């Protein structure tokens, strides 16, 4: 073989090897990453627990096992309501949580969890994904060295479990109640003493009489916490949470150190979770309501005068919070502008039930 022919063959073989390596060599050639995730939600909460396991399994599968995030139950690494600081400082790389659990640290971020008298699932997702909400979310979390993704949308909730029926607004005064997010401030205006408790702490608090009433989520998830065993009056609609987001937050330095492919895997896994959690939850609620009725729970709907009082109190809260916090006002104004623009489509596009 002439020298020139040998050089040509060698060059072609070398180029082929380079292309093969670029397009995807063996799985173990990828970077191996192991993260710890501290959760605010227990794995026993159906479907929130299975949803985050699905997210982590999808990431591991897409990376051929090279990017693994280990789930840790609430309290195992960090108390359920203290994950924000742990992620921000890098004590853990990630957490499965809600912006509502950080309201004491970043009250303006609550708009990315739920809003009283807020949008349904369609409209909420539209604001986040298509209306500029994500850009605000990204910017504001970046100030705290956090990267986040909305990682599951929660459908409409119950607005409370009570031991006794609520027959007048006066019956709310003096009650001690677990309540979430901005809805807690609304209830405070109506004389309710509210506190935020992690899911696992609600039943014991009800059982011991530390609180008189509680709200947490929709019927199937509430069923898993056993509220029906103590409180026999469940009220709807969940005016405070017509739709809600849960999230995965990550330390920004750890996020920036990931290969771009792994970052995309996290994004795609969370997008999948938004659809999966919504569908699974909607499918289960009829059965869960029937179960509660079989257990002797009375299902109530708030009379119009209660809804009017809740709405008026919410409008007062929104104005007060916006006046006190420029960041709150900025997010609120953005959210309200989107809803105003969307309203013309909402009014003509859908049947009125």
CATH number for the domain spanning 185: value is 3.40.190.10
Whether residue 232 is found in the same domain as residue 307: yes
Mean residue pLDDT of the chain comes to 92
Name the E strands within the chain.
33-39, 67-72, 94-97, 146-154, 160-162, 176-178, 193-195, 213-214, 233-236, 244-251, 298-301
Closest to 180 in 3D by CA, of 97, 251, 119, 263: 97
Give the confidence band of 352 by pLDDT, cuts at 50, 70, 90: confident
Q: Tell me what pLDDT residue 13 has.
A: 40
Does residue 199 lie in a domain region? yes
Whether residue 82 is found in the same domain as residue 217: no
Does residue 18 lie in a domain region? no
Do residues 242 and 118 make contact, with C-beta atoms less than 8 angstroms apart?
yes
Per cent of the chain over pLDDT 90 is 89
Closest to 310 in 3D by CA, of 115, 176, 155, 161: 115
Does residue 266 lie in a domain region? yes
pLDDT tens digits along 80-110: 999 999 999 999 999 999 999 998 899 999 9
Q: How many domains does the chain have?
A: 2
Whether residue 66 is found in the same domain as residue 148: yes
Does residue 194 lie in a domain region? yes
Whether residue 353 has pLDDT greater than 60: yes
Whether residue 37 is found in the same domain as residue 140: yes
Strand order in the sheet with 176-178: 193-195, 176-178, 213-214, 160-162, 233-236, 298-301
Average pLDDT over residues 211-216: 97
Give the confidence band of 10 by pLDDT, cuts at 50, 70, 90: very low
Does residue 69 lie in a domain region? yes
Measure Cα distances from 343 to 34, 160, 302, 337, 347 in Å.
45, 28, 25, 10, 6
Whether residue 164 is found in the same domain as residue 296: yes
Q: Tell me what pLDDT residue 341 has.
A: 97
Whether residue 261 is found in the same domain as residue 237: no
Whether residue 159 has pLDDT greater than 70: yes
Whether residue 147 has pLDDT greater than 60: yes
pLDDT tens digits along 274-295: 999 999 999 999 999 999 999 9
Whether residue 180 is found in the same domain as residue 149: no
Dihedral sign computed on CA atoms, order 114, 118, 123, 129: negative
CATH number for the domain spanning 66: value is 3.40.190.170
Does residue 26 lie in a domain region? no
Whether residue 115 is found in the same domain as residue 189: no
Whether residue 276 is found in the same domain as residue 304: no
Does residue 275 lie in a domain region? yes
Residue 152 backbone class (left: φ over 0; alpha: ψ -120 to 50; beta: rest): left
Dihedral sign computed on CA atoms, order 188, 194, 196, 198: negative
Domain, as residue range, for 273: 32-155+243-283
Whether residue 176 is found in the same domain as residue 203: yes
Whether residue 256 is found in the same domain as residue 309: no
Do residues 42 and 72 make contact, with C-beta atoms less than 8 angstroms apart?
no
Whether residue 227 has pLDDT greater than 90: yes
pTM value is: 0.88
Whether residue 210 is found in the same domain as residue 268: no
């Amino acid at each position: 073989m002439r020298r020139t022919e040998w050089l040509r063959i060698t060059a072609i073989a070398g180029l082929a090897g380079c292309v093969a390596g670029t397009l995807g060599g063996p799985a173990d050639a990828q970077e191996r990453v192991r993260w710890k995730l501290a959760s605010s939600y227990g794995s026993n909460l159906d479907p929130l627990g299975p949803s985050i396991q699905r997210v982590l399994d999808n990431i591991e599968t897409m990376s051929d096992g090279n990017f693994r995030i280990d789930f840790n139950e609430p309290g195992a690494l960090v108390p359920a309501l203290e994950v924000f600081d742990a992620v921000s400082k890098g004590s853990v790389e990630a957490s499965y949580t809600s912006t509502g659990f950080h309201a004491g640290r970043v009250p303006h971020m609550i708009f990315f969890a739920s809003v009283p008298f807020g949008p349904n699932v369609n409209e909420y997702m539209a604001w986040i994904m298509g209306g500029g909400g994500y850009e605000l979310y990204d910017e504001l979390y970046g100030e705290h060295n956090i990267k986040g993704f909305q990682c599951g949308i929660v459908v409409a909730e119950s607005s409370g479990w009570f031991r006794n029926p609520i027959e007048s607004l006066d019956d709310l005064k003096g009650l001690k109640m677990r309540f979430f997010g901005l809805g807690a401030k609304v209830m405070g205006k109506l004389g309710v003493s509210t506190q935020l408790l992690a899911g696992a702490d609600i039943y014991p608090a009800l059982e011991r009489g530390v609180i008189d009433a509680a709200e947490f989520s929709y019927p199937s998830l509430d069923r898993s916490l056993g509220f029906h065993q103590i409180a026999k009056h469940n009220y709807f609609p969940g005016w405070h949470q017509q739709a809600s987001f849960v999230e995965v937050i990550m330390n920004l330095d750890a996020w920036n150190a990931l290969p771009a492919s792994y970052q995309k895997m996290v994004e795609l896994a969370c997008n999948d979770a938004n659809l999966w959690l919504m569908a699974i939850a909607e499918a289960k609620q009829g059965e869960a309501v029937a179960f509660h009725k079989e257990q002797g729970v009375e299902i109530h709907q708030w009379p119009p005068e209660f809804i009017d009082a809740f709405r008026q109190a919410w409008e007062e809260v929104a104005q007060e919070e916006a006046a006190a916090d420029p960041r709150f006002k900025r997010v609120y104004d953005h959210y309200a502008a989107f809803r105003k623009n969307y309203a013309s489509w909402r009014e003509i596009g859908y049947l009125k039930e």
